[in-house]
Amino acid sequence: MQTHFEQVYERAVETMDNARIIFDHANNIKNRIRQVANEEQEFTNQVIDQDREYRNQLIEIFGTPYEGTIGAGKVYPDGYKGPDYYYYCYIDVNEVSAETIPPPSEDMTAYFEPMNMLYVPGDDGSSHDTLPSMFTHFFDSDLEGSAYVDTDFSGVLEITFPVGTKKYSFQAPPEWGQRRSPGEIQLALIELIKAESDLQIALAEYAGLMGAIYYTLRVLQGSTDFNASQLEINNDWSGEVESFNMKMLALRTGADLADIAADALDDAADATAEALPTNVGMSNDATSGARAAIKTAAGIASKGIRVGTFASRVYADELESEKEVAALSMEESLIKAGFKYEVQQQLKEIEALLGDEAKTRINIFQKREHMRQVSEKYRATLSKGLRLLEERKVYNARVAAKTQGNRYMDMAFRLSRNDALSKYRNAFDLAARYVYLAAKAYDYETNLSDMDPASPKPLLTDIVKQRRLGQYLNGGYVVGQGGLGDILESLKVNFETLKGQMGLDSPQTETGRFSLRTELFRVKIDADDLWREELKKKRVDNLWAIPEFRKFCRPFTSEDEGAQPGIVIDFSSNITFGLNFFGWPLSGGDHAYDPTNFATKVRSIGVWLEGYDNSLLSETPRVYLIPTGMDVMLVSDSVDLDSREWHVVDQRLPVPLPVRNANMNNPDWIPALDSVDGPMMKIKKFSSFRAYHDSGYFNADQMSFESRLVGRSVWNTRWMLIIPGGTFHFDMDYGLDTFIDNVTDIKLFFQTYAISGN
């Protein structure tokens, strides 16, 4: 499998070959033009070619006009083929952030004076201005297809500008249509809008993080106040219970004492009654005294036993009261322990949120600096176009003043050389861009520090300074002779040497399966309710409202079909000793990659759904898993485990096309645009892929993986898993509800290859 550098290197070689062919062609054209430079017609043709070259260069910068601004009674006449001089700052803005630019509501009229070019027919210095009136506002090569004889542009040209602004650009009215060929200025404005959108995303993420921290603190404060109130109520209740028990004990004691006293009185009365004789007279009751004595003794013994029983009952009541107080004390201790654990968990959550604050703030700084850089690029491009426009104007004035004399030959040589070398410079700039991309790919593959002798950092600056291809000999460029060829071959030699030393050709392969439930959200197996709550938190009402979905995902249906609910889970990955894949402290059941390898890269990815009910939901659910943050890799030659971050954008890299003679003879052929099979600005969007499940018959060995992310670092500051609700069921809300209620885990599969470095 070719590395990213080797692929870009091959395309850079192709662009270098194209530039060399154009350079050789320029030399041949120069020699042929010298043979016919004495003819006046040849001079005229070369002037036209040069003016067309100016036109093409201006089209590259200003773009062509909107179709709706060309025609009778409009700014540009019928058949106009030149650049857009007046409406170059108007673009079609479809998405900036949550709002779109309103249509123009006002007009502004501007007036442009003629250029007043003069022809100088002879050496006597006489001149005349009998030019067609249209040529006083446009260059002749811009009007090749125009019937200018029937058009009147005499005097001042009046232009109406629709006013509909958004900070730094104007919005074109819908009736203008489209540009046939957008220029560098329009592309820079579009890139500026994209940079602003990225900055707004970063600001929104930071605001969301601050809101989450504030909300969690409020929850912690409320929980603490509630716990304190609960403890106070419990203490009051314990005091009331103890008071009630004391009072009840006193009442029971008084009742028992009263009962004993009453019994004592009854016994005394019975003994006294027994002491009285039952017979009086001749026959006395001789046993009355004995009966009274026995009654009295029995009463005394009974009182002693009842007193003992009373004492035991009082002691038992006291123990029962103490037991109840002890139970209340134990309950209070358990409540305090629960409160402490709850506060600790909330503090951990706050700590986790605070850990992301610095990273989010740095991301805002990076996005702001990127937007400033794009803004400077726009101003530089505009200045370049204005300079070229002034140059063209001066050039046409000079040509108009040099129509006769012995200057024909000199001008023919210069124009032929400029025409050919202009194409060469354009092709050279394209080759330099590809060589620069190859150097960046080399830097990404090796990830060396700037101080390493094999680092491409010095070469990146040298590429911008180079103005020649280099020495080409025996089918290749000679190293050490300077030029782009020297730089490209030096990169190739270094890479071939490092490829074996660093282990790029012998990577370690590994397959990992990561649980979002236990390893990311830290939800235990028996806590199904917490797991469902986590999924509900990640549920969104409309995926179209997610900027990353719009930017990076190939849509599964038209936005006109309405809102598309789904689940969006974002997380960051990490390759740090002592931490699991998601950056949590490593614990039982966690997975982690080896930090002794400087780079662990993706070969393919997959998703597995546990507990998925395929009897209620679709058999073939599909998801998106995309990296939206920065790739992070360890510096390959660092013993301190230093790391570098890479902002990787998966854009289309056009394939260079072979240059033909017909192309080089075509005045409308522009190497930077026509020698490749498309633009570089287009982002390649990710398609969804199938997520497998274990309902009944699934085998992990039968699982297929998505390989679009091959070569990307597993360590990324932000991943995003997007699960559309419509992939489960026609009723999207029902599908999401059923999925959340049944699925027990979501697992990510990564097939990776790791490079040791050394």
Number of domains, the chain: 2
Q: Which of 317, 338, 357 is the last residue of a domain?
A: 357
Helices H, strands E: what count in the chain? 13, 17
* Dihedral sign, Cα of residue 159, residue 165, residue 169, residue 173: negative
Looking at the domain assignment, is residue 273 inside a domain? yes
Q: Is 473 helix (H, G, I), strand (E, B) or coil?
A: strand
361-402: pLDDT as tens digits: 888 888 788 888 888 888 888 888 888 888 888 887 777 776
* Cβ-based neighbour number of residue 329 at 10 Å: 11
Per-residue confidence (pLDDT) for residue 587, from 0 to 100: 94
Per-residue confidence (pLDDT) for residue 105, from 0 to 100: 46
CA–CA distance from 425 to each of 9, 208, 429, 467, 670 (Å)?
Answer: 20, 49, 6, 9, 11
The whole-angstrom separation of Cα 627 and Cα 435 is 26
Going through 523-598 in order, the beta strands assigned E by DSSP cover 539-540, 566-571
Smallest Cα–Cα separation from 593: which of 510, 694, 479, 690? Answer: 510
Instruction: Give buried/exposed letters for 562-583 (b at 16+ CB in 10 A, else e).
Output: eebbbbbbbbbbbbbeeebbbb
Angle between helix axes 40-62 and 407-446 (nearest 10 degrees) is 30
Smallest Cα–Cα separation from 167: which of 131, 200, 129, 132? Answer: 200
CB distance 477 to 471 below 8 Å: yes
Q: Which of 342, 357, 372 is the last residue of a domain?
A: 357
Its pTM surpasses 0.75: no
Q: Higher-confidence residue: 662 or 410?
A: 662
The whole-angstrom separation of Cα 752 and Cα 674 is 38
Structural domain that includes position 568? 508-630+686-755
Looking at the domain assignment, is residue 96 inside a domain? no
118-170: pLDDT as tens digits: 333 444 444 434 444 444 555 566 666 555 444 444 455 565 545 444 555 56
Looking at the domain assignment, is residue 201 inside a domain? no
CA–CA distance from 513 to each of 586, 607, 703, 713 (Å)?
Answer: 15, 9, 12, 16
Looking at the domain assignment, is residue 500 inside a domain? no
Looking at the domain assignment, is residue 219 inside a domain? yes
Q: Token digits for 682?
A: 């287009």
The whole-angstrom separation of Cα 639 and Cα 596 is 10
Per-residue confidence (pLDDT) for residue 529, from 0 to 100: 94
Structure letter (DSSP) for residue 102: P
Structure letter (DSSP) for residue 709: T
405-463: pLDDT as tens digits: 555 556 666 676 677 778 888 888 888 898 999 999 999 999 999 888 888 998 888 88
Looking at the domain assignment, is residue 229 inside a domain? yes
Question: For residue 419, what are the contacts with CB-CB under 8 A and spacing of at least 6?
Answer: 29, 46, 49, 50, 53
510-553: pLDDT as tens digits: 998 999 999 999 999 999 999 999 999 999 999 999 999 999 99
Q: Which of 357, 385, 413 is the last residue of a domain?
A: 357
